[in-house]
Amino acid sequence: MKNKTTTIKAVSKAESCVPLLHHIRRYVPLSDDEASLLLDSIHFKIVNSKAFLLQAGQVCGGNYFIVNGCFRMYLNTDYGTEQIIQFGIDNWWIADYTSFEQQRPSDRFIQAVEKSSVIVMEKKEQDVLFQKLPQLERYFRIVFQRAYTAQLNRIHFMLNLSGEERYYHFHNSFPDFVQRVPQYMLASYLGFTPEFLSKVRAKRG
Amino acid sequence: MKNKTTTIKAVSKAESCVPLLHHIRRYVPLSDDEASLLLDSIHFKIVNSKAFLLQAGQVCGGNYFIVNGCFRMYLNTDYGTEQIIQFGIDNWWIADYTSFEQQRPSDRFIQAVEKSSVIVMEKKEQDVLFQKLPQLERYFRIVFQRAYTAQLNRIHFMLNLSGEERYYHFHNSFPDFVQRVPQYMLASYLGFTPEFLSKVRAKRG
DNA sequence: CAAAAAACTTAATCATGATTAAGAAACGAG
DNA sequence: CTCGTTTCTTAATCATGATTAAGTTTTTTG
């Protein structure tokens, strides 16, 4: 009985981590032995809709790889409202890296927008893994280099497009995503009010 | 004669690259032998004010470490104006990393705002260096991780602060920098018009 | 040093999108 | 299936910041 449960869990973990291994192998080599070393240092976690990976005041406990689902990162603004600064979906890493690296309290929330599953890499484990598998430095170098350029491009759109253009640009870039999150979250992310988005959508499609 | 010139040049290069070595050693170990390996793969370049490191249509030829000076990265918008999306100053790396990595034409300009000096790391050389000095992957992982979080924070300010607040926040964060670039560039970077900035400054200090 | 170019200022008018408020629709827990 | 909560819509008023245009100051270059 105990044995069976253990076996099921082990298989389940290996299976649930396939998307991460696949993602890593897109960028750097990783032997099966190295992969099992990695698996020993991470854990898999189901996160219910509206549950938090991180809340303001806490130290960001992990670097999270989103296996599937959707998360939002937001802050509380000076007056009461929530400002979404980032969404994360399948195959993205998400964390407050300032809090994570320095192990200091965060000012952010990371919350599941829908039932999701993530792989958690804790700071200690990550430090050890970087020693054991130095190609992970290269992997994350590439991941962050891309994340950085993505944010620069996003800034370009924020500076150059009107609210309406921003909405349609986002809609064209991620057509399915628009259905997936509440409109008020999308409005916050795109930098305008839900009322304005409602007005834009009323005009055409 | 020939000998003397060579000696002077060699000393000059080693000296001019000190800020880069110093920056790298803030994050990863680098022996003197490794440092000289690095020096063999990079070159130092003086860039006059208004000269370009990159122009739209070209492939981004290098990853540039700014030893001293100031650069702006900008694009031409749909109607004639220039949109500055990034400044770079001492001890920052700057490049169009999409163009650089894929060796495909860029849509951006990187131009010196004042007489500057940079260290150029070309794509080929960088690839070889990553093989020879794997700790450079870690170094750039950290550099990009920070650049990414810096851009996320910037997005937060763009979404939450009014134009006037953005100006004063920037002014407080980088007081000397405000003197250094023309106001119309600062206005573009902060996402409003030069006329508006002029009005804001007229109110107080 | 003088002329030309680049950068900055001021002010009037205009437009995008915020705010407020009330009602409608969709969703979720019991 | 129904009540309560969350989300979305509509419309009127308001404010931030854009646009336009003309004039002034500063910087660059011959």
Asked whether the predicted pLDDT for residue B43 surpasses 80, the reply is yes
Residue of A82, A148, A161, A196 for testing the chain B interface, max B β-carbons within 10 Å? A148
> Using a CB-CB distance cutoff of 8 angstroms, which residues of chain B are in contact with residue A137?
134, 137-138, 141
- Out of B85, B144, B152, the one facing A141 most closely (by C-beta) is B144
Domain ranges of chain A: 2-160
* Strand D and B167 CB separated by under 7 Å: no
pLDDT at residue A203, as a whole number: 84
Would the pLDDT of B170 be above 90? yes
Dihedral over Cα of B68, B154, B187, B59: its sign: positive
Tokens 């003086």 — which residue? B46
- Which of the nucleotides in strand C have any atom less than 7 Å away from a protein CB atom? 6-12, 16-21
Q: Please list the residues that pair with A110 across neighbouring strands.
A: A54, A73
Predicted pLDDT of residue A97: 98
Quickly give A76 CA vs D15 C1' distance in Å. 23
Strands (E), chain A: 43-47, 52-54, 63-68, 70-76, 82-89, 93-94, 109-112, 116-121
What is the arithmetic mean of pLDDT over B179-184? 93
Phi, psi torsion values for B191, nearest 5 degrees: 90, 30
Low-confidence ranges of chain A (pLDDT < 50): 1-11
Q: What is the arithmetic mean of pLDDT over B20-42?
A: 97
CB atoms B159 and A98 under 8 Å? no
pLDDT over 60 (residue B2): no
pLDDT, average across residues B161-175? 95
Strand C reaches within 7 A of the B182 CB: yes
Q: Which pLDDT belongs to residue B77? A: 86
Q: What is the pLDDT of residues B59-86, one digit of tens each?
A: 999 999 999 999 999 999 877 789 999 9
Comparing CB atoms, the residue among A75, A155, A191 nearest residue B151 is: A155
CATH code assigned to B2-160: 2.60.120.10
- Residue among B160, B188, B191 minimizing CB distance to A77: B160
